[in-house]
Amino acid sequence: MLEDFQAGGPVMYPILLCSIIALAVWLERQWSLRKARIVPYGFCVELLALLRGHRWDDALVACRKRPAAIARVVEAAIEARRHGRARISERVEEAGRREAAEMERFVPVLSIVATVAPLLGLLGTVGGIILTFREIGAGGMGNMNQVGAGIAVALNTTFFGLVVAIPAVIMEKQLLTRVDRLTLDLEEVASEAVDLLSEPEHTL
């Protein structure tokens, strides 16, 4: 593999860089999109219990102490609790959009890698084939085995480009699926919080 990589020429290095970027993004998002950082179960149970008990200040303090997406969303809801359900829902939607954008951060990079890597591979292959046929034009057909070997080397870049692009597509889909699942969990807890905060006797 190392020999094939080196034979691919200068284009192999941008392809390698694409692979490193894709892996780094995927690992970082795997860490950041843990449920414990977005919608921690125990915290949600505790928070909703505080809201049911009308302990607004305690719930607000709990939200401010917890570095989780659901905490920031419910904090916005609690701060708007005296302004009616419409205002509470509006604040929750605003906070939810911010958290969703944060969860999707860097994920589009994987789509870029999946698009660019095979194009770089194709560029290297086309460049290699052009050089091979220039040699044929300059010195005649010569040894066909050498010609075939030259074309095979040129195809290395396309191969490595696809090797990078295919996992990048899979990584992107996996992360987007996780984001969707966490967003649904976030919406479910936030919706219950809005209901609790919107009851007439709770807004007084």
As given in the structure block, the two tokens for residue 20 are: 């490193």
Position 66 pLDDT exceeds 80? yes
> Which residue type occupies 140?
G
For 167, list phi and psi in degrees, rounded to 5.
-60, -35
Residue-range definition of the domain harbouring residue 157: 2-202
Angle between helices 41-52 and 156-198 (to 10 degrees): 20
Compute and round to an integer the Cα radius of gyration of the chain.
27
Q: What is the pLDDT of residue 202?
A: 40
Tell me the whole-structure pTM to 2 decimals: 0.84
Q: Would you place residue 6 in the very low, low, confident or very high pLDDT band (cuts 50, 70, 90)?
A: confident
For residues 102 and 67, what is the distance between their CA atoms, to the nearest angstrom? 13
Q: Quick one: residue 106, left, alpha or beta (phi over 0 = left, psi -120 to 50 = alpha)?
A: left
For residues 35 and 33, what is the distance between their CA atoms, to the nearest angstrom? 6
Q: How many domains does the chain have?
A: 1
